[in-house]
Chains A and B, each alone.
Chain A
Amino acid sequence: MSLLTTIVFVPLIGAIVTALLPKARTDLPKKVALGFGLVDLALAVMLLVRFDVGAVGMQFTERLNWIPEAGIQYFLGVDGISVPLLALSTLLTVLAILASWKIEKRTVLYFTMIQLLAVGMNGVFVALDFVLFYVFWELVLVPMYFLIAVWGGPRREYASIKFFLYTLFGSVFMLVGILALYLHPAGGTFDMIELAARGGSLPTNFQWWVFGAFFLGFAVKVPVFPFHTWLPDAHVEAPTAGSVLLAGIMLKMGTYGFVRISLPMLPDAAASDFWTWTIGVLAAISIVYGAAVAFAQTDMKKLVAYSSVSHMGFVMLGIASGTVAGINGAVVVMVAHGIITGLMFLLVGMVYERTHTRKIADVSGLSSGVPVAGGLLAFASFASLGLPGLAGFPGEFLTLLGAWESDLSRGIVIVSALGVLLAAAYMLWLVQRVVMGEASPIVAKITDLNAREIAIVVPLVALTFGIGLYWSSLLRYVDPAVKAMLTGMGAI
């Protein structure tokens, strides 16, 4: 049995089974979805274990002709960059299903959509044919649209269509880039590995334009300032599970695109002053702007959403640096941010389920009212602000280190480093307002987390410690792949 195909399509089978369940049994869909999700997670863990850490190049590759008339293949494979992201995707899917346990509205549709989303997310990280990649890339849009539009907050219709149109707008430019590479005589294939190998032979001017097309596609997804405006709306209106998957996985698809596509396939453009400066400056702006706007938020979910803009800025900074440390750091931040922000959104969602408010002013003194929830939220905040020893620290440290070593202006690095301070400030302020102090009237009436909820967050807490203390275990996967990529680019 081909492992990657199985990991990608187990959720599809789950979705089909779920869709066929009788509507009257509202309790069945979540159980079915959880079952398939756990199988998928187990397979992903098996992949992590069987993955040959030291080896260079793609592993577990599968290749079939799909549409030979157009050179389109069904081509899958993973390397050290995609394996952690794939595993994270299966883990967060399981947690998102668990976090949706109390959903009562149209459960069949809900869990069908979550599983379809999982197919797209898993697929993006393993597809090595450009058309297949695009298919998975777009596949996530439709379920996410429905998740926001059916189960979202009061402004769900606006937020869902805005999300769809914005990200579609970005991805169609990516399609132009894909076609341009395919039709160029020096490109001439949809095979992403082959394209990465041929990347250097493309004319620099051509690379520059194609880089721009991909930049639009990925920057909207990440999102980089000024393409971020869809994100707060989508996050605030999305149900908890939607926010977790959106922030945890879907944003990473954008930065993964930069690492897997833009850098290796268009090395000269990636090294050009214009694009390193553009990405570097936008990264610094995203970091500081996201943090500054997070300060001003009165809604917890919006605060976490803007903090995501800030953290994803570090990923972009690492990508702009083009150094081993920077890109290693970028991938580590991708994984760490998926874990920490997933945790944040889950906790905010759990508090919201009880208080029916996300207003910071209404929720205070969690630690005296509901100590477990309060403590976990404080923990997540510390992780998010980059406390050494927790997962938020190593990645941001490495991206700053890489950016300092690189040709990027020191000014950009210094401004970005300010973002770390700002993150500490707004997160600690959040802790002070929400966790500390007297329990507000609303908080005094609520109950603490139950066993299911604690079970959801425990894996993320453990991973936050794990990556924070033993980040070398994550770098064992990432580092060889990054080095191989940069060697291929001629950068080291």
Chain B
Amino acid sequence: MEGYWQLLPELIVIGIAITALFGDLIPGKDRGTALLGAAASTIAAVVVLFWGTAEPLFGGMVVADETARFIRIAVAGLTAVWLLWLAGRDMAGERRREAVALALFSSAGGMILAMSADLIMLYMALELSTMPAYVLMGYKRSDIDGLEGALKYFLLSMLTSLVMLYGLSFIYGLSGTTAYSGISLADTGALGIAAAALVMVGLFAKMSAAPFHYWAPDAYAGAPASSVAFVSTVPKISGMAAIVRLVAIMAPDLGSLGILLGAGAVLSMVLGNLAALPQSDLRRLMAYSGVAHTGYLLLALTAGTEIGYGAVLFYVVAYAAPSMAIMLVSAEEGSSLTDFAGLAARRPVVAWAMVVWLLSLIGIPPFAGFFGKLYLFGAAIDGALVWQTVLAIVMSVVSAGYYFRVIREIFFGDAPESPAEVERSIPASAALALCVLATVAIGLGASPLMQALGFSFP
């Protein structure tokens, strides 16, 4: 029975999520609920950190290994940062209490997803982590564009979920079990690869990988930037962990899985980066650049090696922290690039923080993104994916082109006549400071993180 206490962090998160539904009764209403949620997430992360790992639970459906621990901490930690920010800021003019509950449910889903070692568990956890995201994306009820985007996201996501479920059923049929440990797709021929392809369709869509990324720019551009900050990062971390687990069991049996992943990687990198270049809305820009980053991640997955898997998990966290932070600032300042004009004069500290996050996303050392890319591209070269890696690095330079447009706007843009007045807020500033800290610390202090992940390169 002892092992079931492993799930205590998830229970805390779900418990507080349910409590948050009664936010009207909580002192401080919105702010109090958000702070409570942030505290719960932080406690959950700390419990995971110290509880360590355990034997598989529920007959092997849930595996709390090192990978799961790393991802659970990242998911809970980043959710805490988001909730901390939410405690200090308005969210598209709506009540925030429900958003706290939704984020916590999604976060719990993500934490469970990181531990899933069974097809049923995978599907349920994946849905739990994305369902609340649909609501968050359409959080501003009065905004038609936002609702359209959210609906698009919902429909495409449901459709691809069902396609994935269809694929999962084939895998079950072929191996006779839903447990990862029993799945064997060796010598299944075309049916095996078809099943894997169907599953990948679902996961690609959730990760906004090309060619299933079309929902992302519209959904992001319609949604409040604060919602995008959460939806584009936290579910991505756990989703990537789920893909890593699945690929790790399927890749040895299916040689052609690499072709699927490789094609997705190349398409995502090229499409995402090129489409991000002309964007003038930061949410769209980040949506397309998110596609591109998914492409880099898939590239390392294509290698199908332990280094590749470790690099993917490292990078997805290194990507998520600055990415969330940029969208949070966008929620404060406005989502058009011109809204950032003159930010350096208005809020110099935030302006320099933006520089740190953007440089990290480009992959400039010594920030988190550089080490992430070092490992990703290293894994790809190690897997003999040389031309794809060269393409990836060229695309990184392209990405510098559009990320620098943001920097240019911040420092050299003509300030709008009536810039957004941003009030001082201690929780929101603390949340942004944590993101800077994470971006720098994951870079300079990569070593402890890699130890936690059990990842060494090569």
Contact with B along A316-333 (1 / 0, CB 8 A): 000000000000000000
A222 adjacent to chain B (CB < 8 Å): no
Question: Are the C-beta atoms of A168 and B400 separated by less than 8 Å?
Answer: yes
A293 adjacent to chain B (CB < 8 Å): no
Question: Are the C-beta atoms of B397 and A69 separated by less than 8 Å?
Answer: no
Question: Are the C-beta atoms of A134 and B365 separated by less than 8 Å?
Answer: yes
Known: A67-B446, A67-B447. A182 touches B396 (CB 8 A): no
| Nearest-Cβ distance from residue A338 to partner chain B, whole angstroms | 25
Known: A131-B374, A179-B378. A157 touches B408 (CB 8 A): yes
| Nearest-Cβ distance from residue B286 to partner chain A, whole angstroms | 20
26 pairs across A/B with beta carbons < 8 Å? A68-B447, A69-B451, A70-B457, A131-B365, A135-B365, A135-B366, A139-B365, A139-B366, A149-B411, A149-B412, A157-B408, A157-B412, A161-B401, A161-B408, A168-B397, A169-B394, A172-B397, A173-B390, A175-B374, A175-B393, A176-B389, A176-B390, A176-B393, A180-B381, A183-B378, A183-B382
Question: Are the C-beta atoms of A164 and B404 separated by less than 8 Å?
Answer: yes
| Nearest-Cβ distance from residue A203 to partner chain B, whole angstroms | 15
* Nearest 4 CB-CB pairings of A with B: A69-B450, A70-B457, A135-B365, A172-B393
A299 adjacent to chain B (CB < 8 Å): no
B375 adjacent to chain A (CB < 8 Å): yes
Q: Which of B388-408 contact A (CB under 8 A)?
A: 389-390, 393-394, 396-397, 400-401, 404, 408
| Nearest-Cβ distance from residue A74 to partner chain B, whole angstroms | 11
**Contact residues in B for A67 (Cβ distance below 8 Å):** 371, 446-447, 450
Contact with A along B431-453 (1 / 0, CB 8 A): 00000000000000011001100
**Contact residues in B for A68 (Cβ distance below 8 Å):** 447
Question: Are the C-beta atoms of A70 and B397 separated by less than 8 Å?
Answer: no
Q: What residue of chain B has the Cβ atom nearest to residue A135's Cβ?
A: B365
A157 to B408, CA, bound (A): 8
Interface, chain B (partner A; CB < 8 A): 355, 359, 362, 364-366, 370-371, 374-375, 377-378, 381-382, 389-390, 393-394, 396-397, 400-401, 404, 408, 411-412, 446-447, 450-451, 455-458
**Contact residues in A for B456 (Cβ distance below 8 Å):** 69-70
A66 adjacent to chain B (CB < 8 Å): yes
- Give the most central of B365, B394, B450: most A CB within 10 Å: B365
A150 adjacent to chain B (CB < 8 Å): yes
**Contact residues in A for B393 (Cβ distance below 8 Å):** 172-173, 175-176
Q: What residue of chain B has the Cβ atom nearest to residue A213's Cβ?
A: B390
Q: What residue of chain A has the Cβ atom nearest to residue B381's Cβ?
A: A179
| Nearest-Cβ distance from residue B363 to partner chain A, whole angstroms | 8
A71 to B359, CA, bound (A): 24
Question: Are the C-beta atoms of B408 and A176 separated by less than 8 Å?
Answer: no
A68 to B449, CA, bound (A): 12
**Contact residues in B for A141 (Cβ distance below 8 Å):** 364
Contact with B along A148-164 (1 / 0, CB 8 A): 01100000010001001
Question: Are the C-beta atoms of B377 and A179 separated by less than 8 Å?
Answer: yes
Secondary structure at chain B's binding surface: helix, strand, loop or mixed? helix
A68 to B397, CA, bound (A): 28
Interface, chain A (partner B; CB < 8 A): 66-71, 131, 134-135, 138-139, 141-142, 146, 149-150, 157, 161, 164-165, 168-169, 172-173, 175-176, 179-180, 182-183
Question: Are the C-beta atoms of A165 and B455 separated by less than 8 Å?
Answer: no
Known: A142-B364, A183-B381. A70 touches B446 (CB 8 A): yes
**Contact residues in B for A182 (Cβ distance below 8 Å):** 378, 458
Question: Are the C-beta atoms of A70 and B450 separated by less than 8 Å?
Answer: yes
Known: A70-B446, A176-B377. A149 touches B408 (CB 8 A): yes
A122 to B428, CA, bound (A): 38
| Nearest-Cβ distance from residue A111 to partner chain B, whole angstroms | 16
- Give the most central of B393, B394, B401: most A CB within 10 Å: B393
**Contact residues in B for A139 (Cβ distance below 8 Å):** 365-366
A165 to B393, CA, bound (A): 12
**Contact residues in B for A172 (Cβ distance below 8 Å):** 393-394, 396-397
A176 to B392, CA, bound (A): 11
**Contact residues in B for A134 (Cβ distance below 8 Å):** 365
A311 to B266, CA, bound (A): 41
**Contact residues in A for B446 (Cβ distance below 8 Å):** 67, 69-70
**Contact residues in B for A71 (Cβ distance below 8 Å):** 457
| Nearest-Cβ distance from residue A295 to partner chain B, whole angstroms | 33
Question: Are the C-beta atoms of B458 and A165 separated by less than 8 Å?
Answer: no
Q: What residue of chain A has the Cβ atom nearest to residue B375's Cβ?
A: A70
| Nearest-Cβ distance from residue B429 to partner chain A, whole angstroms | 18
**Contact residues in A for B371 (Cβ distance below 8 Å):** 67
| Nearest-Cβ distance from residue A329 to partner chain B, whole angstroms | 33
**Contact residues in B for A138 (Cβ distance below 8 Å):** 364-365, 370
A138 to B365, CA, bound (A): 7
**Contact residues in B for A146 (Cβ distance below 8 Å):** 411
A138 to B378, CA, bound (A): 18
| Nearest-Cβ distance from residue B28 to partner chain A, whole angstroms | 35
Known: A69-B456, A161-B404. 8 other contacts (CB 8 A): A68-B447, A69-B451, A142-B355, A142-B359, A149-B412, A150-B411, A164-B400, A168-B400
- Give the most central of A71, A135, A142: most B CB within 10 Å: A135
A157 to B458, CA, bound (A): 40
| Nearest-Cβ distance from residue B338 to partner chain A, whole angstroms | 15
| Nearest-Cβ distance from residue B312 to partner chain A, whole angstroms | 15
A142 to B393, CA, bound (A): 18
**Contact residues in A for B375 (Cβ distance below 8 Å):** 70
| Nearest-Cβ distance from residue B332 to partner chain A, whole angstroms | 23
**Contact residues in B for A165 (Cβ distance below 8 Å):** 397, 400-401, 404
A404 to B88, CA, bound (A): 72
Instruction: Point out the residue from B362, B378, B455 that lies within 8 Å of A69, measured CB to CB.
Output: B455
**Contact residues in A for B400 (Cβ distance below 8 Å):** 164-165, 168
A67 to B400, CA, bound (A): 26
**Contact residues in A for B374 (Cβ distance below 8 Å):** 70, 131, 175, 179
| Nearest-Cβ distance from residue A5 to partner chain B, whole angstroms | 15
Known: A70-B456, A149-B408. A169 touches B397 (CB 8 A): yes
Question: Are the C-beta atoms of A66 and B364 separated by less than 8 Å?
Answer: no
A66 to B457, CA, bound (A): 13
| Nearest-Cβ distance from residue B372 to partner chain A, whole angstroms | 12
A68 to B448, CA, bound (A): 10
**Contact residues in A for B390 (Cβ distance below 8 Å):** 173, 176
A150 to B411, CA, bound (A): 8
A183 to B374, CA, bound (A): 12
| Nearest-Cβ distance from residue B3 to partner chain A, whole angstroms | 29
| Nearest-Cβ distance from residue B380 to partner chain A, whole angstroms | 9
A164 to B375, CA, bound (A): 23
| Nearest-Cβ distance from residue B128 to partner chain A, whole angstroms | 33
**Contact residues in B for A169 (Cβ distance below 8 Å):** 394, 397
Q: What residue of chain A has the Cβ atom nearest to residue B451's Cβ?
A: A69
A66 to B359, CA, bound (A): 22
A211 to B400, CA, bound (A): 25
Q: What residue of chain B has the Cβ atom nearest to residue A131's Cβ?
A: B374
Q: What residue of chain A has the Cβ atom nearest to residue B377's Cβ?
A: A179
- Give the most central of A66, A141, A172: most B CB within 10 Å: A172
A304 to B370, CA, bound (A): 35
**Contact residues in A for B455 (Cβ distance below 8 Å):** 69
Question: Are the C-beta atoms of B412 and A69 separated by less than 8 Å?
Answer: no
A69 to B455, CA, bound (A): 7
